[in-house]
């Protein structure tokens, strides 16, 4: 069996090498690049991200990331967003009173968490839908988070014409979206590459969808 080919998008943000190593351990062949031909040809694309929403969007735009991600999704080609790489998939992010447009794959705004202590840094659980494929085999595991912002309100209405996305929640002061499964587009607010056996299983579950 040939290992699926995965590209980790290099746009100047994210734990690129740790993501690469974790994906390789999970069974993929991995290239870290922003080359558009490689991005479009890969079986799966991982969009990492750390730091500020606006900085990540600027980095993505500099490598034509919005267009490349859009082209992949238009063709049903899998994409996995991690941390701020998940946040930029929403309509917008608001940091320090400044709103920055996101990729608008999902409606919603990334905003400051309502918690006494920030950042939310460390291990936490998730509440995943029963039919989740992402969390198959890892229902009771803990995952590693490092963030001060998140999506607090899921606003995409269910439609009789489409399967609604599967939304996973985590509580830290207030509930926030910690993962989404939406056809070829998956995303996690936590870092699966830093989340031990549970995170490794999440990555294997995603890689299995690429075959």
3-state secondary structure of 107: strand
- Alpha-carbon distance 126 to 62, whole Å? 33
CA atoms within 13 A on the CB side of 162: 9
193 part of the active site? yes
**Token reading at 77:** 């080609």
b/e sequence 41-80, b meaning 16+ C-beta within 10 Å? ebbbbbbbbbebbbbbbebbeebebbebbeebbeeebbbb
Catalytic entry in 95, 147, 193, 208: 193
147 part of the active site? no
Question: Among all chains, which residue has been given the structure tokens 């917008």?
Answer: 92
Catalytic entry in 56, 83, 120, 181: 83
83 part of the active site? yes
Catalytic entry in 96, 111, 191, 208: 191
Catalytically annotated residues? 83, 191, 193
């Amino acid at each position: 069996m040939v290992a699926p080919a995965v590209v980790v998008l290099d746009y100047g943000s994210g734990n690129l090498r740790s993501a690469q190593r974790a994906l390789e351990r999970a069974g993929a062949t991995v290239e870290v690049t922003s080359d558009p031909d490689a991005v479009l040809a890969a079986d799966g694309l991982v969009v990492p991200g750390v730091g500020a929403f606006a900085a990540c969007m600027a980095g993505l735009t500099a490598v034509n990331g919005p267009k490349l991600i859009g082209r992949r999704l238009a063709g049903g080609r899998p994409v996995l967003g991690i941390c701020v790489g998940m946040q930029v998939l929403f309509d917008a992010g608001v940091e320090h009173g400044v709103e920055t447009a996101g990729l608008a794959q999902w409606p919603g705004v990334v905003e400051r968490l309502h918690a006494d202590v920030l950042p939310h840094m460390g291990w936490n659980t998730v509440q995943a839908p029963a039919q989740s494929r992402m969390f198959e085999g890892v229902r009771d595991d803990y995952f590693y988070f490092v963030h001060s912002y998140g999506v607090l309100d899921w606003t995409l209405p269910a439609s009789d014409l489409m399967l609604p996305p599967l939304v996973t929640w985590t509580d830290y002061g207030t509930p926030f979206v910690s993962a989404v499964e939406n056809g070829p587009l998956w995303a996690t607010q936590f870092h699966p590459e830093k989340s031990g056996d549970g995170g490794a299983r999440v990555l294997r579950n995603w890689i299995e969808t690429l075959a």
